[in-house]
């Protein structure tokens, strides 16, 4: 593959660190740089600051069997290129932290400490993250010698929450079991009167060991697992997994399958955005709007069912293509249903926008400063609501999205002006969701002129061991990034999942700082984060 | 403005009745697995291997095959591998009181009786009226689900299913609840929270395990991070299979739960 950008970056980094880079290689859109552990912080810092790349993920894998020790891959995203800085810990059990330069790295480093037992030297926060306080010491689930079925004994320990002290400060603990039909997480508010001084979020209650479990699975079983990372992101996550495998196998899926993936990806986005908008309407105490939107969501879920056999779109994808076809009859059904729904949706959103009590409630609530959103490495709607212009559908076109990136110069300028105007509050997130739903209707309509080739392409029986690749998709929450390394006999050696929620959760604690406690549900709903997708 | 709002409501039509008069799912719905013919020895081996959650198992003594609906995530891999032997019906598996009742066998099948959402709901309403005089309070607990089941439970509250008209409502605290609706494979990190929620619920209380994960661990199984089913942590009264179970099946599960409930 010829990627001019990739070669330029390779040259630029090589010019600066020529004697420090042991090996430069490339794998599709990935630029791999093998460096020494001690040189890594400087090189990462250079890529982050001088190349202006975002930290996309940090992947650790236990490759001690191949005499490489633990290998850590720092993945940066710059335009359409992913830059991998690859280091090995050798015999040691520690690695230098990069948090002081790249704040977004903190959660990844804590995760690596819990799952692999490697100490991030220099990270000020090394409290347990994934494995809660009751887990005994010395358990590192993602090390290869750890047995999947191990049942650890509980121990008594307290989690050290950050304590805010001072006159009049009190703490409000909330969760993990919440009032409402939502997933579990613990929130510790420190408040002065009603004002939130600090919010600490404790997650990983739904940690199910997905990454470890995948290592014991066949590829087609892991596909089902990837659909269930977060039930409402099933198409996005399974598309990302399939793409990773397809890249490893060096196959390209048929054009019809690409379009079908796009259609289902957008259907998923629509029903979830509509659901979130309904939730925001509920949280502003405007049940009428919520009722109208929930009716639309139910109709969309029924459409999902008649197309795919599942109300939440399980079982759409397959490695090498898709499982469900869109027949001419279904095409008609989609177009009819969508035209009805887009009509109704337009009416409801107009109604919401004309209600001053609703709009006032959203304006200025849960505002995120742009600098913080950038430092924390946010993606998706949370990034776009402050004007950080990233969207995996445009930056790294997958499926048939390359067909929808046709913007005239005027439209591009208009888009940039829109981005500059965004304020990062709940209202901005509301407006972006409404716009994206309308865009999705358009993308689906455009994608329905399906080609007449097949649904599946044949994938080689045996994949080359220890080949790896990234796969990605833009779910309704933002970019989801999956990295798969194949082991011997078509097994999975390592499956690293980073959903949008993992990047966006830290922003919750920042978004509520100018608000009062009763604003929290609305702020949380407007961000729309998945607990399961974060906890894995 | 009132006029405009009224027009909005009327413009929608009466969704509840219109859509739920005809029973259950669309013809494409991937529901429970049915053995069309008795699988051969070879097929039994293949099917056992292909099933990702080990829901299909062969019984050596009488050369038959069993299906545990509590484990089945309705992926449809089995019917793709042996399309003549196994069919995927569009009828979902039904809730049961005892775990072993979820297991079906090859051979003659008993299909679930087809009742519409309205019929189930009205039966439930009558029962709740008689028993509680007022309403049934539910507390939902997510013990590690993928949030698929939550979507379906939340759908019960939308204007189409509108569960409150049958006298059922979701409450904010386990202390107000009669029923715990638990989803997920009971992750280790949620184990204590689930137990405490159970203890905080006043008796007589009913626990309903919702979805394949809650019934058996589902695809997440029994690993270092999960306990492999809600019943490993708290006693379960009703099991609702499915991945995720449809709203009407959830309602049917509630009916089963109320039928079981006796005033102590």
Domain map (residue ranges) of chain B:
117-260
| Helix, strand or coil, per DSSP, at residue A88 | strand
Residues 6+ apart with CB under 8 A from A55: A48, A74, A75, A76, A77, A102, A104, A105, A377
Name the helix (H) or strand (E) containing B216. Answer: helix B211-216
**pLDDT, tens digit, 9 for 90 and up, residues A59-116:** 999 988 877 789 999 999 988 899 999 999 888 899 999 999 999 999 999 999 999 9
With CB atoms and an 8 Å threshold, state whether A530 touches B147.
Answer: yes
Asked whether the predicted pLDDT for residue B92 surpasses 60, the reply is: yes
- Measured in whole angstroms, how far is the alpha carbon of residue A203 from the centre of its chain? 16
Asked whether the predicted pLDDT for residue A289 surpasses 80, the reply is: yes
The answer to whether A112 and A59 have CB atoms below 8 angstroms apart is: no
Q: Does domain A4-121 have CATH number 3.10.20.30?
A: no
With CB atoms and an 8 Å threshold, state whether A148 touches B223.
Answer: yes
Q: For domain B117-260, give its CATH number from 3.40.1210.10, 3.90.470.20, 3.40.50.12280, 3.40.50.620.
A: 3.40.50.12280
For A516-527, give the DSSP string.
Answer: BGGGHHHHHHHH
- Measured in whole angstroms, how far is the alpha carbon of residue B175 from the centre of its chain? 24
DSSP E strands in A203-345: the ranges are 317-318, 321-322
**Distance from the A503 Cα atom to the nearest Cα atom in chain B, whole angstroms:** 18
Nearest Cβ partner for B225 among A208, A234, A311: A208
The answer to whether A283 and B137 have CB atoms below 8 angstroms apart is: no
The answer to whether B98 and B80 have CB atoms below 8 angstroms apart is: no
With CB atoms and an 8 Å threshold, state whether B172 touches A179.
Answer: yes
**pLDDT, tens digit, 9 for 90 and up, residues B39-62:** 888 888 888 888 998 888 888 777
With CB atoms and an 8 Å threshold, state whether A294 touches B76.
Answer: no
Asked whether the predicted pLDDT for residue B263 surpasses 70, the reply is: no
Looking at residues A12-27, what average pLDDT do you find? 83
The answer to whether A260 and A325 have CB atoms below 8 angstroms apart is: yes
**pLDDT, tens digit, 9 for 90 and up, residues A452-486:** 888 888 888 888 888 999 999 999 999 999 999 99
Query: CA A329 to CA A468: how far, in whole Å?
Result: 39
Cβ-Cβ contacts under 8 Å, B199 against chain A:
none
Name the helix (H) or strand (E) containing B74. Answer: none
Cβ-Cβ contacts under 8 Å, A302 against chain B:
26
Query: CA A230 to CA A533: how far, in whole Å?
Result: 5
Query: CA A478 to CA B73: how far, in whole Å?
Result: 27
The answer to whether B144 and B105 have CB atoms below 8 angstroms apart is: no
**pLDDT, tens digit, 9 for 90 and up, residues A296-352:** 999 899 899 989 989 999 999 999 999 988 989 999 999 999 998 998 899 999 999
Which whole-number Å values give the CA distances from B153 to A288, A488, B9, B247, in the listed order? 20, 41, 24, 7
Query: CA A380 to CA A367: how far, in whole Å?
Result: 16
Residues 6+ apart with CB under 8 A from A460: A249, A251
With CB atoms and an 8 Å threshold, state whether A228 touches B219.
Answer: yes
For B227-261, give the DSSP string.
Answer: -SSGGGTS--SEEE-SSSPPHHHHHHHHHHHHHH-
**pLDDT, tens digit, 9 for 90 and up, residues A475-528:** 999 999 999 999 988 899 999 999 999 999 999 989 998 889 998 999 999 999
CATH H-level superfamily of A210-535? Cytochrome-c3 Hydrogenase, chain B (1.10.645.10)
pLDDT of residue B16: 56
Residue A534 in tokens: 């974060």
The answer to whether B249 and B235 have CB atoms below 8 angstroms apart is: no
Residue A133 in tokens: 């306080």
DSSP E strands in A405-448: the ranges are none
Q: What is the ipTM of this complex?
A: 0.90
Domain map (residue ranges) of chain A:
4-121, 169-202, 210-535
Query: CA A174 to CA B47: how far, in whole Å?
Result: 46
Asked whether the predicted pLDDT for residue B107 surpasses 60, the reply is: no
């Amino acid at each position: 593959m010829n990627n001019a950008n990739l070669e330029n970056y390779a040259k630029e980094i090589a010019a600066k660190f020529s004697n420090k880079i042991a090996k430069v290689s490339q794998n599709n859109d990935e630029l791999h740089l093998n460096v020494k552990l001690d040189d890594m912080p400087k090189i990462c810092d250079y890529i982050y600051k001088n190349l202006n790349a975002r930290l996309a993920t940090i992947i650790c894998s236990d490759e001690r069997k191949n005499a490489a020790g633990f290998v850590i891959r720092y993945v940066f995203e710059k335009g359409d290129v992913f830059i991998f800085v690859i280091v090995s810990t050798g015999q040691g059990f520690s690695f230098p932290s990069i948090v002081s330069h790249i704040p977004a790295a903190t959660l990844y480093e804590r995760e690596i400490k819990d799952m692999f037992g490697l100490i991030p030297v220099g990270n000020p926060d090394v409290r347990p993250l994934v494995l809660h306080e009751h887990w005994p010491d010395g358990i590192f689930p993602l090390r290869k010698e750890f047995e999947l079925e191990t049942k650890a004994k509980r121990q008594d320990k307290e989690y050290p929450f950050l304590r805010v002290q001072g006159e009049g400060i009190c703490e409000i603990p909330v969760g993990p079991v919440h009032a409402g039909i939502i997933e579990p997480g613990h929130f510790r508010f420190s408040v002065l009167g009603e004002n939130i001084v600090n919010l600490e979020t404790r997650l990983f209650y739904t940690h199910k060991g997905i990454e470890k479990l995948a290592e014991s699975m066949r590829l087609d079983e892991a596909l089902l697992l990837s659909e269930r990372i977060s039930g409402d992101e099933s198409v996005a996550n399974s598309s990302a997994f399939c793409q990773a495998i397809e890249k490893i196998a060096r196959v390209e899926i048929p054009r019809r399958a690409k379009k079908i993936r796009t259609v289902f990806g957008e259907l998923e986005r629509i029903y979830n955005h509509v659901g979130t908008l309904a939730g925001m309407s509920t949280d502003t105490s405007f049940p009428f709007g919520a009722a109208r939107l929930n009716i639309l969501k139910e109709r969309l879920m029924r459409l999902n069912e008649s197309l795919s056999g599942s109300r939440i779109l399980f079982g759409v994808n397959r490695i090498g293509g898709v499982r469900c076809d869109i027949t001419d009859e279904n095409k008609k059904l989609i177009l009819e249903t969508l035209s009805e729904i887009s009509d109704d949706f337009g009416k409801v959103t107009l109604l919401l926008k004309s209600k001053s009590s609703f709009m006032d409630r959203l304006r200025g609530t849960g505002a995120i400063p742009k600098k913080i959103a950038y430092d924390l490495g946010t993606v998706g709607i949370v990034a776009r609501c402050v004007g950080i212009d990233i969207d995996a559908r445009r930056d790294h076109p997958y499926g048939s999205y390359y067909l929808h990136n046709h913007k005239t110069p005027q439209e591009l300028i208009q888009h940039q002006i829109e981005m500059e105007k965004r304020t990062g509050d709940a209202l901005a997130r509301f407006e972006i969701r409404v716009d994206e739903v309308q865009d999705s209707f358009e993308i689906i309509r455009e994608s329905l002129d399906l080609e007449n080739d097949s649904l599946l392409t044949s994938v080689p029986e045996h994949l080359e061991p220890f080949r790896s690749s990234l796969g990605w998709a833009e779910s309704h929450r933002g970019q989801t990034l999956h990295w798969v390394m194949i082991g011997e006999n078509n097994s999975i050696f390592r499956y690293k999942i980073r959903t949008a929620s993992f990047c966006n959760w830290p922003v919750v604690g920042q978004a509520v700082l100018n608000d009062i406690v009763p604003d929290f549900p609305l702020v949380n709903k407007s961000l729309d984060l998945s607990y399961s997708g974060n906890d894995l | 403005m009132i006029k405009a709002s009224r027009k909005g409501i009327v413009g929608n039509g009466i969704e509840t009745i219109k859509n739920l008069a005809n029973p259950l799912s669309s013809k494409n719905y991937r529901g429970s697995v049915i053995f069309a013919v008795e699988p051969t020895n070879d097929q039994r081996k293949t099917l056992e291997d292909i099933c990702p959650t080990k829901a299909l198992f062969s019984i050596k003594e009488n050369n038959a095959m069993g299906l545990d609906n509590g484990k089945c995530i309705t992926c449809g891999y089995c019917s793709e591998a042996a399309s003549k032997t196994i069919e995927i019906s569009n009828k979902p598996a039904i809730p049961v009181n005892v775990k072993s009742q979820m297991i079906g066998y090859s051979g003659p099948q008993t299909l679930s009786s087809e009742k519409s959402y309205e019929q189930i709901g009205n039966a439930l309403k009558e029962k709740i009226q008689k028993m509680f005089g007022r309403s049934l309070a539910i507390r939902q607990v997510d013990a590690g689900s993928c949030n698929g089941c939550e979507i379906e439970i939340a759908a019960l509250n939308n204007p189409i299913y509108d569960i409150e008209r049958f006298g059922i409502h979701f409450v904010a605290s386990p202390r107000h609840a009669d029923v715990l609706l638990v989803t997920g494979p009971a992750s280790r990190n949620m184990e204590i929270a689930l137990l405490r929620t159970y203890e905080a619920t006043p008796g007589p209380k009913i626990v309903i395990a919702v979805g394949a994960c809650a019934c058996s661990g589902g695809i997440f199984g029994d690993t270092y991070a999960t306990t492999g089913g809600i019943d490993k942590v708290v006693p379960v009264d009703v099991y609702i299979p499915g991945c995720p179970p449809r709203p009407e099946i959830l309602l049917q599960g509630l009916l089963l739960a109320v039928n079981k409930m006796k005033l102590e």
